[in-house]
Amino acid sequence: MATKKTKKTTRKKKGVALNLQDERIPKIVAIICLLFAVYLCIAFTSYFFTWKFDQDKVLQFSADLLFQNDISVSNWLGRLGAIVSNAFFYWGFGLPSFGFVLILIRLAYDLIKKNPFIKTFDFAKHTILIISFCSIILEFFMFNSAFSWGGAFGESTNIWLSNFLGRIGLLLLLFFVMLSTFMWFVNPQIELQTPAFVNQLAPKFNFFKWTSSEPISNLKTASSDSGLRPRHHSETQGMGHMPKTEPKDKGSLGSKLEFKLPDVFNKKKEKPLPPSAPLIIESKAPDGKTLNLQAQPDDSPGNRTDLDITVPEKAANSDAPDLSQVSIVDPATVKPIEPLSIQEENKVEHVNFDPKLDLSSYKFPGLELLEKYEDQKFEVDRAELEANKDQIITTLLNYKIEITKIRATIGPTVTLYEIVPAAGVRISKIKNLEDDIALSLSALGIRIIAPIPGKGTIGIEVPNKKKQMVSFYEVIKSDKFINAKMDLPIALGKTISNEVFVADLAKMPHLLIAGATGQGKSVGINTIIMSILYKKHPSQVKIVMIDPKKVELFPYSALDQHFLAFLPNQDEPIVTETQKVIFTLNSLCTEMDERYDLLKKAKSRNLKEYNQKFVQRKLNPKNGHKFLPFIVLVIDEFADLIMTAGKEVEMPIARLAQLARAIGIHLIIATQRPSVNIITGTIKANFPARIAFKVTSKIDSRTILDQGGADQLIGRGDMLLSVGSNTVRLQCAFVDTPEVERVIETISQQQGFPEPFYLPEFKGEDDISNDGSSLKASDLDDMFMDAAKLVVGAQSGSTSNIQRRLQLGYNRAGRIMDQLEALGIVGPPQGSKPREVYVYTEVELGQIMDNIFGKT
């Protein structure tokens, strides 16, 4: 019995051994590895296109995600593919995660080939090191991208190393690692040559000549009266040491020389020059032309490096080139040219005009000036989503409305539930249940979109219990804003699908903003202005700011030398007084007319075409042409201006809104009272783009948007953007006052333009009369007579000339010019042209002063 048991045990052991040594097992494992490799490759590739849609669902991994049928993902390999790719890319190594696919392929290959496992281990070890290093370096250069180029590993490692070494130190470390790795594996042979300036100074200071080529030892002249000499070592550019040989006699240039070429032409001695291979000798003639001389080698069976160089007879004249400047060029390195040809280059390089050149050192503000507000980010609880979904279905069933499908899209402050009603259900019936659904959900601000444009669904927008703040930082650093190819990009915030929304103000072309007090209107204006400051150079855009409240826009006054535009005689760059508002608006109308005149002369239809022609130097500045920046007019409280000035403000606003689009003047008008007497039909007709924050009534919503919905918003930056017939719900990006002040301080401390961007002068009818009756001698400036004599002597009424010649400030010079106009010495302003001078001599000037003020 014992013997039988021993035999059975031996057989079992042999069976196990046979199974482990079976050749089919490694092949099956190899196939499994290849299957995993293909699976990972497809999942990773899909991640590039679907990560934005799936990340909010798989960011917090839960096993329940694999078994919840009502949650759909966009990854090509379903929920598992989304989870796996997110784990490798977001939580792992980012883009270098593709290296794990190579490891699996190599493992399968070694299993099939029966290679030792140590080779697989070495390959995996080196690949993981490369993956780790690439993750770090990708995250270093792409740290502002929303996509996980280097993953969590690269990000955390970069943060630690940056804190330890600094950004510059980390860059040096990465460069050192790459260079050391290259040296270790490639081991390049490095040959050093003497710098040219050392060889040029060598004969003067008796320096040691360090050269990589052999010295030329064989140099003989066939005729001593040739007048030719070989070039010095510093002129041969590495051809080797050539002893200086002075000519015995200055003869004609038709003589011959024999040169023995150095080995530098024959880098490999086993490859001599082919028979009859010409050498080309370049020389500079006195007139600056390039003279190309052909040297034909001697085909005798002797030394192949002895050449006969024949200079043509027609070069033998008084204008012959100095052959001490002759250089021998290897024919293998030059293109064939005809012998004895003269080449002239008369190409004039065309350089475009660069408007940024005046402030070429200007640096855009950095992201480090902004707050991230990480503590204000919350995630929607899935239990909340399920509860809302069930409550919506129950409420609709109570009214005998059946639905076939429901889908949730989570936004920062609002979740959109898209439902597909059953056949035969009227849409209006669902829309009338807005209040009932709000009651059942115990939520404020339920908004029903029936139907959603472009989709066969009905949308129910439900506010989240925990609202997520959208910081200006995360909007600005997004690829959508950084890569925006727009004239005036503005980052407004995020949509309900959590995507950054960037619009082009130049395409709107004007923007009307309305909302009740405290609902985010002023923050929205700051977001728009900050977007321009982060994206545009001071030479490309100017901002005119009107702030009747006097407290909202005042921090921007520090940008008067960079971005602001205002009247010449204005004390403060931010307009606050109603009378100056009227002057500023009419001045903008004058600027608009002047720009249209320039466009007419340039035969351009819009500002973009005109500036393109000017940059390409197709327009002559002597004809009044200049680079025209965009001008953005910002009015923070329009209702106050209408109440105090009425038609005097409304008419220039309406005129600008109708005509100013083509010449690059765009309006942003905000008000907290969107009533019909404030936002009139004339204004609304020319403002197709409108933003509505929360308002108090449906009437106000229809006034601003021509539809309801703004009264159902939840406040704190929740807004509706209407452009034409499309309406989008957004959460406005939040930027706080300290952030704005830091950005303004960073810009204002940089070098600005010598003087601000002044709008054309404008005076109302009630200003100083032309006969000077309202002026007294005591009202005249102390420098008035000096300025008057300067203007009369130069016959040019230029404010800047007075400022420069008399060392006055621009405001004071502007007041003197107004006084000169009031006394009839100069004419009215003519835009950018100097005023006309009506007085021709100082004697006539004295008579005018005596007639008006009497003899003093």
In a domain, 349, yes or no: no
Instruction: Dig out the tokens for 362 from the structure.
Output: 């200007």
CA neighbor of 176 nearest in space, from 164, 187, 184: 184
Tell me how far apart the alpha carbons of residues 475 and 550 are, in angstroms, rounded to a whole number.
28
In a domain, 331, yes or no: yes
- Asked if residue 572 and residue 520 are part of one domain, the reply reads yes
Q: Which residue has the higher pLDDT, 541 or 126?
A: 541
- Asked if residue 83 and residue 134 are part of one domain, the reply reads yes
The pLDDT assigned to 290 comes to 47
Instruction: Dig out the tokens for 64 from the structure.
Output: 């329940």
Highest-confidence range of 262-266, 299-303, 375-379, 823-827, by mean pLDDT?
823-827
Give the DSSP per-residue string, 612-662.
HHHHTT-S-GGGT-----EEEEEES-HHHHHHHHTHHHHHHHHHHHHHTTT
- Asked if residue 732 and residue 787 are part of one domain, the reply reads no
Do 837 and 792 form a contact (C-beta atoms < 8 A)? yes
Whether pLDDT at 167 is above 70:
yes
> What mean pLDDT do residues 521-548 have?
94
The whole-model pTM stands at 0.53
The region, left, alpha or beta by phi > 0 then psi within -120 to 50, assigned to residue 24 is alpha
User: Residues 304-346: pLDDT tens digits?
Assistant: 444 444 444 444 444 444 444 444 444 444 444 444 443 444 4
- Asked if residue 707 and residue 644 are part of one domain, the reply reads yes
The pLDDT assigned to 249 comes to 45
- Asked if residue 415 and residue 289 are part of one domain, the reply reads no
Highest-confidence range of 13-17, 412-416, 441-445, by mean pLDDT?
412-416
Q: Which residue has the higher pLDDT, 852 or 396?
A: 396
The pLDDT assigned to 32 comes to 92
Whether pLDDT at 535 is above 90:
yes
Q: Cα angle at 726 between 722 and 731, to 5 degrees?
A: 55
In a domain, 9, yes or no: no
The pLDDT assigned to 199 comes to 58
- Rounded to the nearest integer, the mean pLDDT of the chain is 77
The pLDDT assigned to 315 comes to 42
In a domain, 170, yes or no: yes
For 564, phi and psi rounded to 5 degrees? -90, 155
Lowest mean pLDDT among 92-96, 99-103, 569-573: 569-573
> What mean pLDDT do residues 150-154 have?
87
User: Residues 567-578: pLDDT tens digits?
Assistant: 988 888 999 988
Query: 370 Cβ partners below 8 Å, 6+ apart?
Result: 471, 472, 473, 476, 735, 739, 743
Tell me how far apart the alpha carbons of residues 483 and 477 are, in angstroms, rounded to a whole number.
10
Q: What's the total number of domains in the chain?
A: 5
Tell me how far apart the alpha carbons of residues 577 and 693 are, in angstroms, rounded to a whole number.
27
Instruction: Dig out the tokens for 238 from the structure.
Output: 């590495």
For 777, phi and psi rounded to 5 degrees? -60, -35
Highest-confidence range of 239-253, 259-273, 526-540, 754-768, by mean pLDDT?
526-540
Highest-confidence range of 6-10, 270-274, 629-633, 791-795, by mean pLDDT?
629-633
- Asked if residue 773 and residue 735 are part of one domain, the reply reads no
Highest-confidence range of 327-341, 396-410, 441-455, 514-528, by mean pLDDT?
514-528
The amino acid at 76: W
User: Residues 205-245: pLDDT tens digits?
Assistant: 444 444 443 443 343 333 334 343 443 333 333 343 444 44
Output the CA torsion 380→386→389→392 (10° steps).
-100
- Asked if residue 655 and residue 780 are part of one domain, the reply reads no
Where are any strands of DSSP class E within 483-604?
489-495, 500-504, 511-514, 541-546, 565-566
Alpha helices in 730-808 (DSSP H): 737-748, 784-794, 799-806
Instruction: Dig out the tokens for 232 from the structure.
Output: 């010095």
Tell me how far apart the alpha carbons of residues 271 and 260 are, in angstroms, rounded to a whole number.
17
Tell me how far apart the alpha carbons of residues 297 and 279 are, in angstroms, rounded to a whole number.
8
How does DSSP classify residue 469?
P
The pLDDT assigned to 47 comes to 87
> What mean pLDDT do residues 537-550 have?
93
In a domain, 326, yes or no: yes
First to last CA, the chain: 148
User: Residues 41-58: pLDDT tens digits?
Assistant: 998 898 888 877 777 677
In a domain, 779, yes or no: yes
Of 433, 463, 493, the position where a domain reaches its end is 463
CA neighbor of 411 nearest in space, from 451, 477, 461, 474: 461
Whether pLDDT at 708 is above 80:
yes
- Asked if residue 789 and residue 825 are part of one domain, the reply reads yes
- Asked if residue 566 and residue 688 are part of one domain, the reply reads yes
> What mean pLDDT do residues 600-616 have?
93
- Asked if residue 408 and residue 324 are part of one domain, the reply reads no
Range of the domain at 783: 763-853
Q: In what order do the strands lie in the sheet with 458-463?
A: 403-410, 414-421, 458-463, 447-449
Lowest mean pLDDT among 70-74, 155-159, 699-703, 800-804: 70-74
The amino acid at 133: F
The pLDDT assigned to 422 comes to 86
In a domain, 191, yes or no: no
The pLDDT assigned to 195 comes to 60
Whether pLDDT at 12 is above 80:
no
Tell me how far apart the alpha carbons of residues 444 and 463 are, in angstroms, rounded to a whole number.
7
The amino acid at 353: F
User: CATH code at 807?
Assistant: 1.10.10.10
User: CATH code at 581?
Assistant: 3.40.50.300
The pLDDT assigned to 677 comes to 81
Query: 186 Cβ partners below 8 Å, 6+ apart?
Result: none
- Asked if residue 658 and residue 542 are part of one domain, the reply reads yes
Whether pLDDT at 5 is above 70:
no
Q: Binning pLDDT at 50, 70 and 90, where does residue 200 land?
A: low
Whether pLDDT at 749 is above 90:
yes
Q: Which residue has the higher pLDDT, 202 or 185?
A: 185
In a domain, 195, yes or no: no
Cα separations in angstroms, 517 against 643, 679, 694, 716: 18, 17, 9, 11
Lowest mean pLDDT among 70-74, 698-702, 798-802: 70-74
The pLDDT assigned to 318 comes to 43
User: Residues 471-502: pLDDT tens digits?
Assistant: 999 999 999 999 988 999 999 999 988 899 99
The pLDDT assigned to 314 comes to 42
The pLDDT assigned to 342 comes to 39
How many Cβ atoms from other residues are within 10 Å of residue 300's Cβ?
8
- Asked if residue 579 and residue 665 are part of one domain, the reply reads yes
Of 701, 718, 748, the position where a domain reaches its end is 748
Q: What share of the chain is helix, strand, coil (3-state, %, to 5)?
A: 45, 15, 40
User: Residues 811-820: pLDDT tens digits?
Assistant: 788 888 888 8
User: CATH code at 416?
Assistant: 3.30.980.40
Of 437, 463, 489, the position where a domain reaches its end is 463
3-state secondary structure 113-149: HCCCHHHHHHHHHHHHHHHHHHHHHHHHHCCCCCCCC
Percent of the chain with pLDDT over 90: 25
Bridge pairing between strands 279-284 and 327-329: antiparallel
